[in-house]
Structure 1
Amino acid sequence: MQMRSLSISTSFLFFAVVFHSCLAINDDSLIKRKALDIIIGGGEGPSPDDEPPPCKHFENENGCFENERLAKAYEVIQRFKSKIKVDKNSNRYLKTWCGTDVCKYSGFRCDIRPDVNEKAVAAVDFNGFKFEGCDGTLPLDGFLDELDDLAIFHANSNNFTGTVPFRASKIKYLYELDLSNNKIAGNFPMKTVGGMNLTFLDLRFNSLRGSVPPQAFNLKLDVFFINNNRFAVQSLPTTIGDTTAVYLTFANNNFTGSIPPSIGRARNLLEVLFLNNRLTGCLPYEIGNLSQATVFDASSNKLTGPIPLSFGCMKNIQILGLANNQFYGEVPEIVCELPMIANLSLANNYFTSIGPACRRLMLKKKIDVKKNCIFDLPNQRSEAECAAFLWKTTTCNRMETLFLVPCEIHGYYSENSSDGDQSAAADPATRTYSTLSPHHRL
């Protein structure tokens, strides 16, 4: 009887141990299962303490934004992003276009919009990004014109196509527009840019056609670059002198006719490039009124006649380019005596003589008179070639004005006259010549 009681007690103890072990295993499995459920999204989920804080600003289906302006910009940017061809180049930038903080996206800058005192996307800088469209097109429509708060849009060297959208004219604070070296087509976007408050307009290296309207020179621009387009053959507008531009380039287009005398009214002008067009006629003496100009280049045209003596009034000129034309006569000493002259390019013309001041510039390698008709100098045209040209030269209209020196009349020429050695820069820094390179970013 005692042995039976012991056996029962032993069996009960063994059962209790096993049952307790099973409970322990089941409890541990339950804990592990709950943890697994939470990890894969089931079960009880995170506690309220783990939830993100509520949006304190502006929230929509895309997330939380500092304000409604940035939320709209996010939508515009994401729509534009979907149109860009994704490759190794573009992905460097596009991979940053994630999340709701658009101010940290590569190519975008934010600032406080002054009239509403709110942060907004104030600048787009895509210079050199080389974006292309998925289907070969990359329109500005729906992007440029939807970023209402822009002050600056720079997009040199991309593949934007189509035209400049008219709705962009409503962007209140946009003052710099650079679409250079793209595939912009159509006519000059006068209606669009005419409604803006631009001070900087760069449309060079595109496929713009038609004419440049005279009203374009009434725009209150400091910088106006339209070189290297496909404009129709046209004369320079007589209103060119109304421009407020400091830097102006017409180079490598199809402008014809003469340079209008009104150019002398463009008193803000520092640098102007007329080179490589089809300009004809004589230089107007009014160019001499550009006393602040540092660069004047009309090389590679069909201009003719003597150099007006008024050019001696261009007291700040550093680069004067008249090469590859049909100029003739004597190179005026008054021009070679300009105090700041560093590069006087007169090659490939029909000049017949130069004086002592010009010869001193030759020694300093500041003047180039190769391929002219100055027979006591090397590398000149043949006598027969010079005789054939000079036999058929015609006189200029207003011939008497070629001998006027307006600064002498107004009493300040003599104090500026020098030997061309006052403070001339050895290698003058210029801005407009860099526009002749499509990829240069200004």
Structure 2
Amino acid sequence: MASRLSFQAFGCFHLFFWIFFRSFTPTFTVEASSIADRQLLSLPKNGKLPDGYEYMVKTKETFENERLRRAFIALQAWKKAMYSDPMNITSNWFGPNVCGYKGVYCAQAIDDPKLKVVAGIDLNHADIAGYLPVELGLMTDVALIHLNSNRFCGIVPESLSELTLMHEFDVSNNWFVGDFPKVVLSWRSVKYIDLRFNNFEGCLPPELFEKDLDALFLNDNRFTCNIPETIGKSTVSVVTFANNKFEGCIPRSIGKMSNLDEIIFSNNNLGGCFPQEIGLLRNVTILDVSKNSFVGSLPTNFSGFEKVDVLDISGNKLTGSVPEDICKLPSLSSFKFSYNYFSEEHMACIKPERKNIVVEDAGQMYWRVST
């Protein structure tokens, strides 16, 4: 991980320079002779997509409909923005049959079932190096983009706001940089956002938690600032903040997250006392606040976590006692509370009464229920 992050610091330009001269292969050749090179990638990175841009690009091929032609222009521009494709995933990205391109999926248009359109892109685990060109905004029928585990870098272009049907957006495990990509805020239908393992930084926009999301993954970036108070408006069932640089307290509004199933705050700079409202999360099954700087005693209503399966409060500065009620929670399978300053722990936590409970290291105040 350390070597990966240090290499990222060189930026896209240095990355592509190195790839070009160290690993030049035929996969860099763009077989799109019908489009003039001067027209491909003629738009500045993160620039706006001009109205009617698709009519400025001349093509010789014929297409079933204009939307497939737009997708062709976008995909050819994207291929030209790829500097390494070691698995030759895009080797068949030429010609008018864009629905036959590997990783490209077509379906009936939502607004016109008679039209076939590009509805999804899935390049997961392709190890492709490159960036996202502005021309991708031409694929207005795309509802799914999966780019997990590649080497795409730079920023997420604002032109993706044209993809108004976006439902799932996964760019995890890449080398993207810059502030939180606010383009996702423009997608009315998006339910799943995964930005894990990149170099996004800065603060989270409060509007993010006002969107009707099912899952939000933010871990392993460089986000800072306080977690917005609007988190209480979020509809997510899963959200991860781990391994960033968030600071401040957990917002008291957290108690209003009625759909919440899993929430992970581990390894940040969060502190203060746990808000009493956290005990209102009756449906949560995983709560991880480890490796922060929380102080004070545990809220008495922690015992209300009737569905909690995994509870990790280790690695903080908590004091007082570990209540008996927590150690007797009916669904609990894993509880970590080591590396704090607790002065007392109930016998139910040292020698649990339930069967199949293994006390792994009483000295570290850790016990686990075997499944």
Structure 2 residue aligned with 1:151: 143
Matched, 1:99 2:106: no
Tell me by how many angstroms 1:141 deviates: 2.2
From 164, 179, 185, give the equivalent of 2:156. 164
Q: How many residues align?
A: 310
Structure 2 residue aligned with 1:141: 134
8 A contact 2:357–2:370 mirrored in 1: no
Matched, 1:202 2:200: no
Which of the two has greater helix per residue?
1
Judged with a 3 Å threshold, the aligned counterparts in structure 2 of structure 1 residues 84 and 289 are, in CA distance, closer, same or farther, namely same
From 234, 258, 267, give the equivalent of 2:249. 258
From 261, 267, 282, give the equivalent of 1:276. 267
1:297-312 equivalences under 5 Å are 297-312=288-303
Structure 1 residue aligned with 2:172: 180
Structure 2 residue aligned with 1:128: 125
The residue type equivalent to 1:283 in the other structure is F
Structure 1 residue aligned with 2:82: 84
Once residues 199 and 218 of structure 1 are traced to their aligned partners in structure 2, the CA distance between those partners, rounded to angstroms, is 12
Once residues 254 and 94 of structure 1 are traced to their aligned partners in structure 2, the CA distance between those partners, rounded to angstroms, is 37
The residue type equivalent to 1:102 in the other structure is V
Judged with a 3 Å threshold, the aligned counterparts in structure 2 of structure 1 residues 325 and 367 are, in CA distance, closer, same or farther, namely farther
Judged with a 3 Å threshold, the aligned counterparts in structure 2 of structure 1 residues 200 and 305 are, in CA distance, closer, same or farther, namely same
Matched, 1:345 2:343: no
Tell me by how many angstroms 1:366 deviates: 5.9
Once residues 326 and 306 of structure 1 are traced to their aligned partners in structure 2, the CA distance between those partners, rounded to angstroms, is 9
Tell me by how many angstroms 1:364 deviates: 4.0
Judged with a 3 Å threshold, the aligned counterparts in structure 2 of structure 1 residues 241 and 280 are, in CA distance, closer, same or farther, namely same
From 97, 107, 110, give the equivalent of 2:106. 110
Determine what percentage of the aligned residue pairs are the same residue.
36
From 325, 335, 343, give the equivalent of 1:334. 325
Tell me by how many angstroms 1:250 deviates: 0.7
1:388-403 equivalences under 5 Å are none
Matched, 1:221 2:213: yes
Which of the two has greater strand per residue?
2
8 A contact 1:184–1:208 mirrored in 2: yes
- Per the normalisation by structure 1, the TM-score is 0.66
Cα RMSD over matched residues?
2.3
Structure 1 residue aligned with 2:228: 237
Structure 2 residue aligned with 1:43: none
- Per the normalisation by structure 2, the TM-score is 0.78
Judged with a 3 Å threshold, the aligned counterparts in structure 2 of structure 1 residues 86 and 259 are, in CA distance, closer, same or farther, namely closer
8 A contact 1:183–1:206 mirrored in 2: yes
From 266, 283, 290, give the equivalent of 1:292. 283
Structure 2 residue aligned with 1:39: none
Judged with a 3 Å threshold, the aligned counterparts in structure 2 of structure 1 residues 185 and 343 are, in CA distance, closer, same or farther, namely same
Tell me by how many angstroms 1:304 deviates: 1.5
Once residues 327 and 209 of structure 1 are traced to their aligned partners in structure 2, the CA distance between those partners, rounded to angstroms, is 29
Structure 2 residue aligned with 1:70: 68
Once residues 156 and 174 of structure 2 are traced to their aligned partners in structure 1, the CA distance between those partners, rounded to angstroms, is 12
Deviations 1:229-250 (A, max 9, x none): 1223x12222221111111011
Once residues 285 and 364 of structure 2 are traced to their aligned partners in structure 1, the CA distance between those partners, rounded to angstroms, is 29
Unaligned runs of 5+ in 1: 1-59, 371-376, 381-419, 427-442
Structure 2 residue aligned with 1:395: none
Judged with a 3 Å threshold, the aligned counterparts in structure 2 of structure 1 residues 425 and 291 are, in CA distance, closer, same or farther, namely farther
Judged with a 3 Å threshold, the aligned counterparts in structure 2 of structure 1 residues 367 and 295 are, in CA distance, closer, same or farther, namely farther
8 A contact 2:172–2:194 mirrored in 1: yes
Q: Secondary structure at the match of 1:280?
A: strand
Deviations 1:362-394 (A, max 9, x none): 9844676x5xxxxxx5457xxxxxxxxxxxxxx
Judged with a 3 Å threshold, the aligned counterparts in structure 2 of structure 1 residues 149 and 304 are, in CA distance, closer, same or farther, namely same
Q: Secondary structure at the match of 2:202?
A: coil
The residue type equivalent to 1:79 in the other structure is A
Once residues 251 and 69 of structure 2 are traced to their aligned partners in structure 1, the CA distance between those partners, rounded to angstroms, is 50
State the structure with more CA Rg: 1
The residue type equivalent to 1:337 in the other structure is K
Once residues 265 and 90 of structure 1 are traced to their aligned partners in structure 2, the CA distance between those partners, rounded to angstroms, is 46
Once residues 283 and 367 of structure 1 are traced to their aligned partners in structure 2, the CA distance between those partners, rounded to angstroms, is 26
Once residues 358 and 244 of structure 2 are traced to their aligned partners in structure 1, the CA distance between those partners, rounded to angstroms, is 28
The residue type equivalent to 2:101 in the other structure is Y
8 A contact 2:164–2:186 mirrored in 1: no
Judged with a 3 Å threshold, the aligned counterparts in structure 2 of structure 1 residues 367 and 243 are, in CA distance, closer, same or farther, namely farther
The residue type equivalent to 1:325 in the other structure is N
Once residues 379 and 245 of structure 1 are traced to their aligned partners in structure 2, the CA distance between those partners, rounded to angstroms, is 34
Once residues 359 and 289 of structure 2 are traced to their aligned partners in structure 1, the CA distance between those partners, rounded to angstroms, is 16
Structure 1 residue aligned with 2:33: none
Q: Secondary structure at the match of 2:209?
A: helix
The residue type equivalent to 2:149 in the other structure is S
Q: Secondary structure at the match of 2:221?
A: coil
Tell me by how many angstroms 1:266 deviates: 0.6
Structure 1 residue aligned with 2:41: none
Judged with a 3 Å threshold, the aligned counterparts in structure 2 of structure 1 residues 290 and 379 are, in CA distance, closer, same or farther, namely closer
Judged with a 3 Å threshold, the aligned counterparts in structure 2 of structure 1 residues 366 and 227 are, in CA distance, closer, same or farther, namely farther
Deviations 1:198-254 (A, max 9, x none): 11111122222221122221121111111111223x122222211111110111111
